[in-house]
Structure 1
Amino acid sequence: MASTRASPACGNCRSRRIKCNLLRPRCSQCARAGLGCTGYRSQSDLLFRDQTKSTIRKLHASSTRVVAPNKHATSWSPVVTRPTFNVEELAKKVFSDNFAILGDGCKHWMDSGAENPSSATISLTSVGLAALAVVHKDPDMMDLARRKYDFAIRVLSKAIISHKGSGIEQFIAGSFILFIFEMITCDNHSSSNAWQKHVHGAAAFFGYFCSTNGLPVSPVKEIIEICYTTTLACLISGKKVPYFLLELPGRFGASSDTSESDEDPLLSAMRLFAIMSTLVNIRALANQSFSPRNQLVVLAIKKDQALHNWASSLPASWTYHKLPMGQQYIYQDVWYAQMWNYYRLARILVNRIIIDNCDIVSPAMLPGDIFKLQHAQSYAAISFLSQEIYSSLPFMFNLEQMAATSLPLSAALFFTITLLQSLLELTDKAALIQDWSSPASNILGERFTFTKSIVMQNLR
């Protein structure tokens, strides 16, 4: 954090070194001078004002500074001093404030990793550094973030080679967190989907953890997040969902015959995951031509009915509503908004399977007019469900940007990127790129501009 108080004055008053009365939209000084007021810095700019290039210079200088030789001493040696400011501690705070995807475990790793940092701590530090570098356009900070990222990769690689069972939870989290780094630093086609490698790596660690230590006592949001993100990565890359993830809902007691009355929200989320992961595998089979097309259509229609049953059996806590004015849905919290969007994505996927296979099957093979009717309904459903997803984004971004210290980079951003990349596989790309940001831009205005640019950068 800056050692001196950052001036909140507008750009003109700071450059003219005069007092600013901070009036909006134009201060009095600019009005008297007939100048167009350049506006005020955001809260994050004030908070992180001196924590980029100047911090790097301090760190480099502190590690190499030497004292002048004492003329009365017989010899002298370099003196290494501790830096007055720890940029990595700031990076950890940035992560905990903005990327708390894995819950309270992140804070525990940060508190316990001061002397012997874990793979999770190293990974989240690299993400925090990269976030600061992107926001402040600082190449030195990004270089430091990449070196920390490389260190995290080496730690994870060593863990894989050594087959250590201890600390596997942190290896899972470390690999999963690195997918955020890949999204932040994505700047070309070759790296745009590199995050999938880390998600698959986290899933592999998780499978190993389950085989050696068994499952946790109950399903938790962190596990659910890894399951869903891995499934979306499989959808994007055309792979099948790993078997050990497919069997998780049943092992947690969330199979299709689970009692649906007063069901725990986490178990409901696992039931939805069971349907979605099956649909991803059906699409993979369809792409590989392993099954008769008409059978895939029948199976997809059954899964669509299962999705309708899932939605109709949810407890009242899942309820959401649309605001009377504007394109925005309101939920109990961000987690419920994410789960509803996973549901919408699953329904889009099932309708895409129906359309693709009906287009291939000859009319003579269709068992009746029901297929032709379903084909038309599927097109309408995809369009409607896509718009519902777009209308849920303003709530997610608005809720996460309420904190004064929040950066424009957040957990909602990375959920959105993953979701939209999945939609690119199922819907018209041109329509998606044109439509997805309209509700959020209309409601959030200019503060959504930076976030939108990061998302668009990842929609290759």
Structure 2
Amino acid sequence: MVYRGRPSKSCRECRRRDIKCDKKKDACSQCARAGLSCSGYQNPTDLIILDETPTTAEKVLRGRSLQRQSSPDPLSTRLLPTVLQRAKYLYISQYVEDKPATSLFSYMQVFYPSKSDDFPLLETVINAVFMATFSSLQGCQPALYHAQVGYGSALSLTRKAIQSPKEALLDRTLFSILLMSVFERMANSERQGFNLRNRHLQGAFELMSFRDKGQFTDEGGITMFLHLTELVVLDCLANEVDIPPRFLSLRQKALENGADTSSLRWRFLDLMLQYAQLECSASSTAAVEDAIYRAKTLDKHLDQLSKHLPSFISRRQSPEPPNTSATRSDIYPDYNTQRCWNNIRVVRIQLARIIREQYARILGKTNDDSSIMGELHNSNQRAVSLSSDICLSVPCKGTRGRLPYRITSIQSSTLLFHLYVAKDMFSGPAESRLSIPERLQYLKERQPPSRHKSWDDLLYDSHKMPQNVWEVWLRIGREDYSI
């Protein structure tokens, strides 16, 4: 008889799904949110006693002997569960812990782990995403191979799911398809010239259009709809195409059926949607004044939206001259606040670019070129100011101990994208004053060694550097682009 301690205070379902249980008296919130029947809690005064009989010990020893005789392949069937477990913990540490509940990645814990005999599609997709993340962060090509095999199985299971009228309408089916779109980006982003078109997006909003209107007031349904909005917008921006009319119809359906439009995330993605439509029309429209008006209006709304974000300590607003202690950076209360501010700044920088391009088209064709030159100057100054804020948000080497939070490799990819957008506004003394090379180095050091060459190609090789900043995001971004 072996004493194994006291039982867990969590309910059985939360222990099975490997998530945190809030231990509410009647039933835990995690079970209620996932629509599961809470099994209740064990008596904390009980003891766990393991009956280790001679027969049990002999069985364990026999099993270990068979394991030693099996293939030494590090990703063989014998060892794959161990690698998968490592991949799962790595994914959770990067995406789920301490993340906003609105993130699609955090929302995964509502469904996972699922019983494979209940819904094998979601199980297969999630395991493929785990392995793809592990491959990306650890440079493990065998893990990517197993991830791609799992993805192939998921495609077959998806076809079966959408052919079933019952399964096609389940949250889990839609969630699986959204995760498959995430997998495509994650598994293909290292390839040069990879296809940016996301093949699962149209299927996702077609599937959502057949679901009942209650999805737009349900917490899980609106989370998935907002993530779908983000994926569609980024796909259109990277490929320089307009928003699909079918998706706009779905969005109108959401508005008509009581979707909550008051959240900062909804408002930001709504402005992103308008910005994507402006990007598509600005290069071809003859109405320059209309494009300028729309860009200025969006910039104003984004500026107002940023005022709802938590504040931070800004170097530029302190009495200290900005050209002293160049390695110092602004101080944000947490990483999520830093990310949200910079996400807004990147879009505003792109709007400033549109304004400059539109004014340049009419320069010399009007009777008031001095006014146009003034507008060009103001727009350029606004972009420089926003870019400076992005640069100062990124720490330099040696500032780690003063940060109130830790920056993971996933998060450093996001900050590197922000800095990539901002650094094009500077050269020479300005770049030195803002310590841009030191900030790039700080972020690069937080990337796995297997990705350093990709970063160097992106940052310093003009032949491999995409012209479209949103294509860069699809290549290196590993988080939600939202607030």
TM-score range, shorter chain: 0.5 to 0.7
Q: Report the Cα distance in structure 2 between the residues aligned to 1:339 and 1:229, rounded to whole angstroms.
A: 17
Q: Report deviation, 1:285.
A: 1.0
Q: Which residue of the other structure, out of 57, 73, 80, is the alignment partner of 1:57?
A: 73
Q: Could you tell me whether the CA contact under 8 Å between 2:91 and 2:134 is conserved in 1? A: no
1:57 to 1:207, Cα distance in 2 relative to 1, 3 A = same
SS state at 1:322 partner: coil
Paired position in structure 1 for 2:279: 283
TM-aligned CA distance change 1:209 to 1:90, over 3 Å: farther
Counterpart CA distance in 1 for 2:234 and 2:80 is 43
CA contact under 8 A between 1:130 and 1:145: conserved in structure 2?
A: yes
Q: 2:303 aligns with which of 308, 312, 321?
A: 308
**Cα distance in 1 between the residues matched to 2:116 and 2:139:** 28
Q: Match of 1:299?
A: 294
Post-superposition shift, 1:232? Answer: 2.6
Q: Structure 1's 268 and 419: CA in aligned 2 closer, same or farther, altered over 3 A?
A: same
Q: Which amino acid aligns with 1:243?
A: L
Give the counterpart letter for 1:91 in structure 2.
Answer: A
Aligned mate of 1:319, from 305, 308, 311: 311
Superposed CA deviations along residues 53-81 of structure 1, whole A, max 9, x for unmatched, are x997266465xxxxxxxxxxxxxxxxxxx
Q: CA deviation at 1:215?
A: 0.1
1:104 to 1:269, Cα distance in 2 relative to 1, 3 A: closer
For the residues of structure 2 that align with 1:204 and 1:137, how far apart are their CA atoms? 33
1:328 touches 1:391 (CA, 8 Å); kept in 2?
A: yes
| Aligned equivalent of 1:143 | 145
> Are 2:122 and 2:176, in contact at CA under 8 Å, matched by a contact in 1?
yes
The residue number in structure 2 matching 1:230 is 232
- 1:154-181 residue CA offsets vs partner (Å, 9 max, x unmatched): 3334445656533345434543454355
Distance 1:327 1:57 in 2: 48
Q: Which residue of 2 aligns with 1:274?
A: 270
Cα distance in 1 for partners of 2:272, 2:240 equals: 14
- The answer to whether the 8 Å contact 1:176/1:226 transfers is no
Counterparts of 1:211 and 1:414, CA distance in 2: 37
Can you list the C-alpha shifts for 1:387-439, whole angstroms capped at 9, x where unaligned? 333443559x9789849xx7x3x2x2564577678x49x967999x9999745
Structure 2 CA distance for partners of 1:340 and 1:134, relative to 1, 3 Å: closer
Asked if the contact 1:130/1:184 (under 8 Å) is kept, the reply is yes
> CA offset at residue 245 of structure 1?
7.0
- 1:201 Cα deviation from its structure 2 partner: 4.6
Aligned partner (choices 87, 105, 108) of residue 106 of structure 1: 108
Q: Superposition RMSD on alpha carbons, in Å?
A: 4.4
Deviations 1:212-255 (A, max 9, x none): 5440346966654443343233222112234157656785443x
Per the alignment, do residues 428 and 413 of structure 1 end up closer, same or farther by CA in structure 2, a change over 3 Å counting? same
Match of 2:127 in 1: 125
CA–CA separation in structure 2 for the residues paired with 1:336 and 1:118? 37
The yes-or-no answer on 1:187 pairing with 2:190 is yes
Determine the C-alpha separation between the residues in 2 that align with 1:383 and 1:440.
17
Among 156, 160, 171, the alignment partner of 2:158 is: 156
3-state SS, counterpart of residue 342 of structure 2: helix
Q: What displacement does 1:278 show?
A: 0.9
Contact 1:286-1:296 within 8 A present in 2 as well: yes
Number of the residue aligned with 1:38: none
In structure 1, what residue type is equivalent to 2:276? V
The Cα of 1:107 is off from its aligned counterpart by 2.4
Partner of 1:42: none
One-letter identity of the residue aligned with 1:269? R
2:350 maps to a residue whose letter is L
Displacement of 1:204 in angstroms is 2.2
Q: Which amino acid aligns with 2:217?
A: P
Q: Is the 8 A contact 2:332 2:338 kept in 1?
A: yes
* Partner-residue secondary structure (3-state), 1:329: coil
Q: Is 1:446 aligned with 2:448?
A: no
Percent identity of equivalent pairs: 15
C-alpha distance in 1, partners of 2:343/2:255?
16
**Structure 1 unaligned residues grouped into runs of 5+:** 1-53, 63-82, 259-266
Partner of 1:25: none
**What is the one-letter code of the residue matched to 1:200?**
L
Distance 1:154 1:400 in 2: 46
In structure 1, how many angstroms separate the alpha carbons of the residues matched to 2:255 and 2:136? 38
* Structure 2 match to 1:261: none
Taking structure 1 as reference, are residues 186 and 156 closer, same or farther at Cα in structure 2, changes over 3 Å only? same
CA distance in 2, matches of 1:441, 1:221: 33
In 2, Cα distance between equivalents of 1:126 and 1:202: 19
Displacement after TM superposition at 1:140 (Å): 2.5
**Distance across 1 between alignment mates of 2:435 and 2:175:** 31
Contact 1:171 1:205 in 2 (8 A): no
Match of 2:174 among 153, 156, 171: 171
TM (norm. structure 2) is: 0.60
Encode CA deviations 1:243-298: one digit per residue, 9 max, x unaligned. Answer: 157656785443xxx7xxxxxxxx123223222321221121122x2441122112
Partner of 2:57: none
Displacement of 1:359: 1.6
TM-score by length of 1: 0.63
